[in-house]
Chain A
Amino acid sequence: MEALTKIVKAAAEAATGDEKNIAAAGSAGFAYGLAAIGPGIGIGLIFGSAIESMARQPEAAGMVRTTMFLGIAFTEALALIGFVVFILLKYA
């Protein structure tokens, strides 16, 4: 039991410094990757609906493209927020 406690203590000491930094960087990168998944799905859905609308009503293509572009830009803002939070947590 005493040996086990010594091992845990040694592991905790080793985890300080570089390893902790590596783990933090990995977690931040993973979080940014997760933040980009949602908007990616959202953009796919927006574009799918836009194509369907243009197929149904080709004369409204300009209007659909305007709405689609704005929708995609708004969805992209979520990914940008994820990126900025990652940058601020990691480096600020």
Chain B
Amino acid sequence: MAVDIDTKISILSMRDTGPAPEAALVRDIIKRGLIATPVLLGASYAIWGINGAYSCAYALGIVFANFALAAALVAYTARISYALMMGSMLFGYIFRLALVAVAVFVVRQSSWVELLPLGLTIILAHLGLLFWELRYVSLSLAYPGLKPKKSKQKKSEQPTESATQ
């Protein structure tokens, strides 16, 4: 007896239980951001003084938090379903923009805030860190997140070579 069952499954009802590449990317972005932080703080201090340095530090905090929140949202919701991931990305965009706006509006009249270094750091850090990260992104099925470091690659190749000898 043939049973007519519609076997089409929507991709939106599926989920991804594998490792989250976004988390690795953002961890790496924040690590690089921490390397660049002293340079940016020093430049802001040299141009706008101590208030500029405080504003720059605050802006860097906003940028790091924005990246971390975006990655956390994607990584967490992808384990539940792609539909939820879609919702979290689209509404998360508005939510994160609102958070950035609130974070800036809350402090805009404080005595230690210089708006120009604050705004410039938000844009430059966001774009700069993304461009910096692009160099280390791997687009291969073997390494869907970051490229493996050369030293790690050599170590993993060594046992294979000795095994063939």
Contacts and interface: CB of A to CB of B under 8 A. Distances in A.
A12 interface: no
Chain B contact residues, majority secondary structure:
helix
A43 interface: yes
A77 B115 CA distance: 18
Contacts of A58: 14
A28 B12 CA distance: 38
A40 B119 contact: no
Given A40-B93, A44-B90, A70 B108 contact: no
A60 B115 CA distance: 43
Interface in B12-43: 12, 14, 16, 18-22, 25
A67 B139 contact: yes
Chain A contact residues, majority secondary structure:
helix
B11, B86, B93, B133: which has the most chain A beta carbons within 10 Å? B93
A43 B90 contact: yes
Interface residues of A, number: 35
Interface stretch (A1-9, A18-26, A78-86): A78-86
A88 B21 contact: no
A69 B70 contact: yes
A54 B7 CA distance: 18
Interface string A27-65: 000000000100110011001000100110011111101
A40 B94 contact: yes
Given A60-B141, A63-B140, A69 B74 contact: yes
Contacts of B100: 80, 83
Nearest to A65: B21
